[in-house]
Chain A
Amino acid sequence: MLLEVLQGTEAGGFILIQDSVNYCGRHLLKSCINAALKREEVVHVLGFEVSQEELNDGLDKTSAQRLHFHNAYSDPLGWTGNSPFTVHQFTLEDIGTLLKQTPQAKAVTLVIDSLSWILRHHDPAAICQKLQALKKGGVVRAVIGLLHSDLHQRGTVGSICHLATSVITVAPGTRGLGAFAKITRRTKSGKLMQDEEIFSINEDLTVTIQSKRSHPGSTPMNTDESEVDPTANLTFNLRLSDTQREAKEKLPLPFVFSKEKKSALLHPGTGSGRILYEPDANDDYDQEDPDDDLDV
């Protein structure tokens, strides 16, 4: 499903890529941009978090003229006084003005890197309204946004996710197996589809799906088990072979009074010691066995 989301964006789509400190979603964002450029779409990027050089690194050079980077990185708050684009200009009118700089009849994809920057300086409710208006307004065909989910409260992240038609949550995969993506997709009819996939991003920013439905929750347990093995790398042997394990399990515990022990105590075998007792004159020798009344 990840490839479908990256490839086909219906009009009015809003793709949200959610990442955290454990895995950076910017590579996947660049894959989305590349895919849009290859589809001959015009892409406008509101770049708050990284510079133009860093974002363009790896993108398809042949479609560079269709990519328009609006520099909100060098001075997003207007501190120097001559900023190309500030965070306060994130309004429908200003975005519309930006898009009119490149008058094209074709549909435009708007990429926001990142929504976290904007949410830090604007009220989340206002941002949601603007995103909804962007989706519905017909100014842009599709919106792709990157959100760092661990920098905001759950309610804010949830509100933005509700607006999105597709949400891709990325997390690190097990070592050497690429990254994990959980995709939630809402169709226009209201149907909700979910999928989980392991993917990796190649040098040319194309995405390869490696396997499906492998929960990242189960794999850390396996790696923990294989990592922490206290019987390894010792100078003495703590392990048991199969025969040793069998013998150990057969061994009776010392203080368990089993049937064998009872008969061994009561009926001593030949060769065991005998007691010869010659009573003295002063001894009160009773012939009866004092243990007769014991119920053993």
Chain B
Amino acid sequence: MFAELNSILNTSPDSFKPGEFILVSDKHTDASFLIHHFLSFYLRAGCKVCFLGLVQSFSHYSAISQRLGVSLTQAREKGQLVFLEGLKESLGVLLQASKGTRTMDFLRDPSSGLRGLYDFVRDNVRGAVGGAEEWGPPVLLVDDLSVVLSLGVSVGAALDFSHYCRATVCSELQGSMVMLVRCEAEEEEESDDEGSERLLRGLIHQCSLTLQVQGLPTGYCRDIHGQVRWITLFVCVCVREWKKREKEIACYM
């Protein structure tokens, strides 16, 4: 969890706005540091976190979270964190080792959409009634949603999935949602609407806060790693430049 980001967003693990859908997008750079930030933020806030890790292994996030002061292994054992290890599950689907779960069905049949993935989310955010510990509002984290496009899933199916997650997690259960979308650095074409740009636009229409992380327009710089635009309610609130340090990020106006 990065303290400076908290002060810019005016939130803290003790007080944050419920029902938020935060969209993180990146272009020409890597915004996964924000996912690590939100993961440790919500775990510290005592929320029940459902993490769809589609691009990295559990140990990757665990190692980074350790440096941010949060133990993912402990959280998983306690039942606070439910982690879908996409890479491991996909191997099972492709080798037909596990037939029971429909979560990663879209790998076999991309045209069927992400309904199986939504069912997984729905079953895990509601939480066990009468469980050992009472957790805070549920949180869904997705890293990252644009990878399903390269697996053959259509933009419409991805938008349907995010809509359903928002309806369940944010509106019904008053929880929060953070999704990462990566944009390919290609030129926009009028005719080619199927792509990460269209997915990004669709998600911007759905979300309440967008954090757009980009490389600096002037090019590579050793000291400044990029710039972030905060957009809420379609109004760009501020643009900050950021630099990633060991355990903190520094933001400059």
Contact A74 B167 (CB under 8 A): yes
Contact B201 A150 (CB under 8 A): yes
Given contacts A120-B156, A151-B202, contact A76 B234 (CB under 8 A): no
Contact A120 B233 (CB under 8 A): no
> How near does chain A come to B199, taking the closest CB pair, in angstroms?
10
Partner-contacting stretch, out of A19-27, A241-249, A259-267? A19-27
Question: Of B160, B164, B171, B204, which one neighbours A21 at CB under 8 angstroms?
Answer: B204
Name the A residues within 8 Å of B191 (CB-CB).
153
> How near does chain A come to B64, taking the closest CB pair, in angstroms?
31
Contact B234 A22 (CB under 8 A): yes
Contact A172 B201 (CB under 8 A): no
Given contacts A22-B234, A79-B115, contact A151 B205 (CB under 8 A): yes
A148 and B201 CA atoms in complex are apart in Å by 9
Contact B115 A21 (CB under 8 A): no
Contact B198 A154 (CB under 8 A): no
Answer whether residue A73 sits at the interface, using C-beta atoms and an 8 A cutoff: yes
A169-227 interface (Cβ within 8 A of B) = 172
Answer whether residue B172 sits at the interface, using C-beta atoms and an 8 A cutoff: yes
> How near does chain B come to A34, taking the closest CB pair, in angstroms?
19
Answer whether residue B68 sits at the interface, using C-beta atoms and an 8 A cutoff: no
A181 and B137 CA atoms in complex are apart in Å by 39
Pick the most buried of B115, B160, B191: most chain A CB atoms within 10 A of its CB. Answer: B160
Answer whether residue B163 sits at the interface, using C-beta atoms and an 8 A cutoff: yes
Answer whether residue B159 sits at the interface, using C-beta atoms and an 8 A cutoff: yes
Given contacts A24-B233, A77-B160, A79-B164, contact A51 B205 (CB under 8 A): no
Q: List 30 A-B contacts (CB under 8 A).
A: A21-B204, A23-B234, A24-B205, A24-B233, A24-B234, A51-B167, A51-B171, A73-B167, A74-B167, A74-B172, A75-B164, A75-B167, A76-B163, A77-B164, A79-B115, A79-B118, A116-B205, A120-B159, A120-B160, A121-B156, A148-B205, A151-B198, A151-B201, A151-B205, A152-B193, A153-B190, A153-B191, A153-B193, A172-B234, A172-B235
Binding site for A on B (CB under 8 A): 115, 118, 156, 159-160, 163-164, 167, 171-172, 190-191, 193, 198, 201-202, 204-206, 233-235
Not counting A24-B233, A74-B172, A79-B118, a sample of 17 additional A-B residue pairs whose C-beta atoms are within 8 angstroms of each other reads A21-B204, A21-B234, A23-B234, A24-B205, A24-B234, A54-B171, A73-B167, A74-B171, A76-B163, A77-B164, A79-B115, A120-B160, A148-B202, A148-B205, A151-B201, A151-B202, A154-B190
